Structure 1
């Protein structure tokens, strides 16, 4: 997920791209052409996306996903919540997992969440990073 996010702590942001002609914003980033079918295209520039948004929808994942998702078959499977968030300024919906410990019982459509760094998987040599959504006011 190189180029999808940057920064740490309060500076952590998802990175998208914006078309200079129609001002459409894209995530995941688009570096080749404007995806807006009504636009003739323009220069695409990287933009940091809003850190906060509102829950648009959510569900839980109760099964171990197949490859290429990385999981340790030796460990027991822990369900996790998946969340769709409408970003505050861009008004686009971005999907992702919630922070560990937050379940669908803790979520409600319309509640405010923020993007934070997360760990997808790690072993002795590598830590694979990603983003998670966390309800505002929750620390972990």
Structure 2
């Protein structure tokens, strides 16, 4: 029996339509995107819109970008981070999104090492399992290399 999949971090991403997307907000006045969601007010000092927070709307981020930086995660992170037991090393990548031109950090899909990656390599967003327990597989967004 397959376990239920649950996001490890509530409301930061979705894959309901079959495509993984990061969830954030965007200022309707100046267009500044925020991840994770910003619910207070636009923090862009050059924004000329109202500062009461009413200008922020839900926003789904683009799904492709290029690796800006990457590193091995060889040691189990301390609490409150939850990881598989036993801990399995993984790779993290900072990816500059094509549309928003902002950098988002995330794990790289399992099975790849730093030797498989390069700065500037095109990647896309996907969903993978962070850890599982008796009830569910807890998922997060991950980066997967693509052919340009």
State the TM bucket, normalised to the shorter chain.
0.7 to 0.9
- CA RMSD for the aligned pairs? 1.7
Matched, 1:90 2:100: yes
- TM-score, structure 1 length as denominator? 0.88
Gaps (5+ residues) in structure 2?
Answer: 1-8
In 2 relative to 1, CA 72–7 (structure 1 residues): closer, same or farther, beyond 3 Å? closer
Gaps (5+ residues) in structure 1?
Answer: none
Aligned to 1:125: 135
- TM-score, structure 2 length as denominator? 0.84
Aligned residue pairs, count: 135
Pick aligned residue for 2:29 from 21, 24, 39: 21
For each residue in 1:2-31, what CA deviation from the matched residue of structure 2 results, as whole angstroms up to 9, or x when unmatched? 221112475221112110111100111111
Any conservation in 2 of the 1:9–1:117 contact (CA below 8 Å)? no
> Does 1 or 2 have the higher relative contact order (CA < 8 Å, sep 6+)?
2
Runs of 4+ aligned structure 1 residues displaced above 3 Å come to none
Residue range with higher mean Cα deviation, 117-126 or 91-100: 117-126
Aligned to 1:65: 77
